[in-house]
Amino acid sequence: MGELSGFKYRDIIQGLKFFGFSFLRQAAGSHEIWYNRLTGRYTTIPNHSGDMPQGTLRAILKQAGISVEDFINIKH
């Protein structure tokens, strides 16, 4: 198991809120756009059931400007 395995949509949203992101709008299908006013960054989150694929979560964090280490540390 990788360091980013086992994160669900709710876990990711809680983490994004911790870093100052808020829901902006619904996008195509089941995707959502989240925005951080302080940094001016956007990120797109798929709202799917089950665990988020590690590559998808890594891309979300990259868009958001959040390091993997920082994201994992807020869970502990």
Q: Give the pLDDT confidence of 33-67 residue by residue, as tens digits.
A: 999 999 999 999 999 899 999 999 999 999 999 99
Whether the Cβ atoms of residue 33 and residue 41 lie closer than 8 Å to each other:
no
User: What residues contact 13, with CB distance under 8 A and at least 6 apart?
Assistant: 34, 45
Is the pLDDT at 5 greater than 90? The verdict is no
Residue 49 to residue 64: CA distance in whole angstroms? 21
In the block, which residue shows the tokens 């829901």? 23
Tokens standing for residue 5: 């395995």
Domains of the chain by start residue, with CATH:
9-73 (3.30.920.30)
